[in-house]
Amino acid sequence: MRILLTGASGFVGSHILEELSVNDHEIVSIVRKTSNLKWIDNSQVILKYGSLDDEKFLQEVVQDVDVVIHCAGVVRALNWNIYNNINVLGTKKLVQSVLKNNSKLKKFIFISSQAAMGPSYSETPKLLSEKEIPVSDYGKSKLLAEAEVKALTGKVPYTILRPSSVYGPRDKDIFTFFSMVNKHIQPKTYSKHLIQLVFVKDIAKLITVILNNSNTNDKTYYLSDGQIYSWQDVSKAISLAANIKTVPVPIFDFIFKVVGNIYEIIGNITNKPQVLNKQKIIEMLQTYWIADNSQILRDVNFEFEKLENGAKITYNWYLENKYF
């Protein structure tokens, strides 16, 4: 199968590329000349240098593929215009090109985010039927991008995936937990913060399963391992996986707010988006990020990796690649 993959140079996209390659698919990947290709094995992919802004380029890359997997996007930006131009309008142009140049496409798979749904109201998982209320520009842009994908309804089959917090080799966000555990620190918040997780390799494996699965056509799914974790739970699981003793260290919410403000100022001064900002902190400090993953388990025969195993794989990868 010939597959067009966007975002192959990123954290999630690079794992999708590897999994597709193992399954003997022919992969074409859109990359920019400025893209960091550190995680891309050129023997696994046909690289096409261009932009989602270029209509002629999009016509060239979409017209002879069987599947499009759209993973490209910006997670951090200095303002809404950047989120809108890349996440929303970029998706719109790709969808329009598919409709114009390859209406016989077998499937369009879009990697969205749990951020699109907004936080849940309690420990009861949020259902797909419940209203989405994103609390960040990133979440809003992903929700609007999903709406663009749904323009394919009745014309090209699509599947929208909303992963929860993603961890695994190459990640730089939840890596913070691994780094703290490696320093024998177990963060403990006084306020309740409950989240869900999904191992990055599960997203990649799941995509190979749904490529030819008609049960997943024109559907949206929440992805997680199905468990609910506090931040302390995550740290404990990592410490067990790494066989490291940790000491609980209390952290107050206001500390995160102060750090977020500092990073926001640094970002504005340097004109570069930082790892944290005010909106990321707002997302982090929500009480519940819990969604119902039962739909994907009904439609697809798949078992998600347990955190203990995923954490061990990830920790060992960080060690081998000298992240600590």
Q: What is the pLDDT of residue 15?
A: 97
**Residue 142 in tokens:** 């992903």
pTM reported for the whole predicted model? 0.95
In DSSP terms, 275 is beta-bridged to none
Q: What is the pLDDT of residue 254?
A: 86
Q: What is the pLDDT of residue 44?
A: 81
The DSSP bridge pattern shows strands 158-163 and 247-251 to be: unpaired
Buried/exposed code over 245-284 (b: 16+ C-beta within 10 A; e: otherwise): ebeeeebeeeebeeebeebbeebeeeeebbebbebbbbbb
Q: What is the pLDDT of residue 106?
A: 97
Q: What is the pLDDT of residue 109?
A: 98
Q: What is the pLDDT of residue 128?
A: 96
The DSSP bridge pattern shows strands 107-111 and 247-251 to be: unpaired
Buried/exposed code over 64-99 (b: 16+ C-beta within 10 A; e: otherwise): ebbbbbbbbbebbbbeeeebbebbbbbbbbbbebbb
pLDDT tens-digit map of 24-50: 899 999 998 888 899 998 888 999 999
Domains of the chain and any CATH numbers? 2-164+199-224+290-304 (3.40.50.720)
Q: What is the pLDDT of residue 255?
A: 86
Give the whole-angstrom CA distance, residue 284 versus residue 278: 10
Which residue in 194, 185, 206 sits closest to 165, CA to CA? 194
Which residue in 178, 212, 220 sits closest to 317, CA to CA? 178
- Ranges under pLDDT 50 in the chain: none
* Contacts for 170 with CB less than 8 Å, ≥ 6 apart: 11, 14, 15, 39, 200, 317
Q: What is the pLDDT of residue 251?
A: 86
* Contacts for 304 with CB less than 8 Å, ≥ 6 apart: 198, 199, 202, 224, 225, 226
pLDDT tens-digit map of 139-184: 999 999 999 999 999 999 999 999 999 999 999 999 999 999 999 9
